[in-house]
Chains A and B, each alone.
Chain A
């Protein structure tokens, strides 16, 4: 099915296009063929943009023909989560309230990727406004897990993760507010990075919880992950929270010899944690030890308290950020003779149940009489967590924990109980609360063939350590090489 001369990884595509082994147009067409073969089973995309991708690829080929030097991502197809602006393309955030909305400008990440030669074949499905852990909260469609189409791909960046895992695109972007890159990466068996808060510009990312949101990449190899990360990272004058310093390069050969990896083994005894996830985490700790790292047992700060603080902070910020969807400036409007009823009727019709639930919780946490007991307390808890983790990173380079307490679960399994869905983020939310970077890596498979993800966590701005350790692990294991059945056929 797929064009056999076109390789799959971003690194190989960029090298081949630059060298002239194949054209960017051939890459674009082969990507569209892959998508046509796989997308009907997976439903990863909300909008497909084949003409736009081919035309961008032709522009790139013309530039090469004129002798221009191509960028680091020459011809590389990138899937974009549908909460990032691509000028002239839909940006729905999987919400009915933005049905038909076309982004009037490019996000900074899009501008940088396009500048480096990337093409954008489609915009990927998500939980509405990135609120959820299964992509079941999308207002439009249900994305399937490439390893088992009866299971969820995780969320909220479920479309971005599934598109890479099923080999429709080599890399994609997601956003991570409480685990929305790392958890779907784990459930789909790919790499997923949440960079340090401030590392990647949020300009053009539709805001959910502004002090927690961060854009990051998905990929099937560490080289690909580093390639796209280096393209999107760095200061942007249009995002005042973006960090002034450029990220440091990582040394792919440095390994983990002598590095101290904190391993809070007691979290593996947590009720509800899958035994197979626990076993894979222990096996990976042993693997890192074999690679020369020192595994240091630690006690982990209270995970339930972290979830509690997270759901107060993120809902409070969401209730404020989502106040802008009122039917006046964008999206469909429910007409009314009275302005305040126009707002309330438009919002009632446009938002799905989980978004309403979070707006309600956040409005409550910020309301008069409750502010200090809820939001104020959550912000103090956040400071307390930050101090506890500073203590951990004073003694360790990295932390190793599971990404998700379970492998992919079945559709509908957690939709009846919002709280149970929130607990899917138990191992991921603390990184957003403290701001530091974390990376989910393929860490094995269950007996039934579902992927298991493991998480490496580093101190602020130390993405280089995450790449270094993940690269050593990648070289010593085979987990990342396994392909889901349907994609293996297309690849052949």
Chain B
């Protein structure tokens, strides 16, 4: 599969990367190559109806079938209690620009002129 330079520019905007012309050029080439290779995935295409995320959850059945002495994984839950966490000061410290309470950024919405 090939990918056009316009598509690369569009993806760059979605990914919030201010790509240079030279980068756009090399990414158009590299992504085309990689997406061509990715077609090899068809060897694993199957009629699976279920798509699940974490392998732990997806494997519960097979683990039980092959190793009955190993407990099947479940998502352990914890009580919904307030726990100690970072202070505001600690969370703000690594920021390039902040005041005592907030991260400071350029205005998103301009104030309307009266």
Count chain B residues whose beta carbon lies closer than 8 angstroms to a beta carbon of A.
64
- Chain B nearest Cβ from A105, distance in angstroms: 7
Whether A379 pairs with B94 at a CB distance below 8 angstroms is: no
Partner of A339, one of B15, B66, B106: B106
Residues from 369 to 401 in A contacting B, C-beta threshold 8 Å? 374, 376-387, 390, 393-394
Per the bound structure, the CA–CA distance linking A146 and B43 in Å amounts to 39
CA of A101 to CA of B14, assembled, Å = 26
Knowing A197-B54, A329-B103 touch, does A360 contact B38 (C-beta < 8 A)? no
Q: Is the CB of A305 within 8 A of B76?
A: no
Task: Establish whether residues A394 and B65, one from each chain, have CB atoms under 8 Å apart when the complex forms.
Answer: yes
A101-B66 in contact given A197-B55, A302-B43, A361-B34 (Cβ < 8 Å): no
Asked whether A459 lies within 8 Å of B44 as measured between CB atoms, the reply is no
B70 in contact with A460 (CB, 8 Å): yes
Instruction: Identify the interface centre among A104, A341, A434, A460: most chain B CB within 10 Å of its CB.
Output: A460
A308 touches B56 (CB 8 A): no
Q: How far is the CA of A332 from the CA of B63 in the complex (A)?
A: 46
The verdict on B86 contacting chain A, using a C-beta distance below 8 Å, is yes
Please state if A393 and B17 are interface contacts (CB–CB under 8 Å): no
Q: Which B residues between 20 and 71 are near A, CB-CB below 8 angstroms? A: 20, 23, 27, 30-31, 33-35, 37-46, 48, 50-56, 58-59, 62-63, 65-67, 70-71
Task: Let me know if A211 is at the binding interface, CB within 8 A.
Answer: yes
Residue A286 is within 8 A (CB to CB) of chain B in the complex = no
CA distance A207 to B51 in the complex (A): 22
A316 to B58, CA, bound (A): 19
Measured between beta carbons, the chain B residues less than 8 angstroms from A382 are 55, 58
Q: How far is the CA of A483 from the CA of B106 in the complex (A)?
A: 56
B20 to chain A, nearest CB (A): 8
One of A108-116, A180-188, A235-243 at the interface: A235-243
Residue B2, interface by CB 8 Å:
no
Given contacts A360-B31, A384-B46, contact A308 B15 (CB under 8 A): no
B54 adjacent to A241 (CB under 8 Å): yes
Q: Is the CB of B11 within 8 A of A367?
A: yes
| A5 interface residue (CB < 8 Å to B) | no
Which residue of the partner chain, among A333, A345, A460, contacts B18 with CB atoms under 8 Å? A345
- Check B96 for interface membership: any CB of A closer than 8 A: yes
| Interface residues, chain A, with chain B CB atoms under 8 Å away | 101-102, 104-105, 196-198, 211, 235, 237, 240-245, 301-302, 304-309, 311-312, 319, 323, 326-333, 336-345, 347-348, 351, 353, 356-357, 359-361, 363-364, 367, 374, 376-387, 390, 393-394, 418-419, 422, 433-436, 459-462
Q: List 8 A-B contacts (CB under 8 A).
A: A305-B42, A340-B16, A344-B16, A363-B14, A379-B52, A379-B53, A383-B52, A422-B34
Residues of chain B touching chain A, judged by Cβ–Cβ distance below 8 Å, are: 3, 7-8, 11-12, 14-20, 23, 27, 30-31, 33-35, 37-46, 48, 50-56, 58-59, 62-63, 65-67, 70-71, 73-76, 78, 86, 90-91, 93-97, 103, 105-108
8 closest A-B pairs (Cβ-Cβ)?
Answer: A435-B55, A390-B62, A381-B44, A333-B96, A308-B41, A348-B18, A344-B18, A330-B94
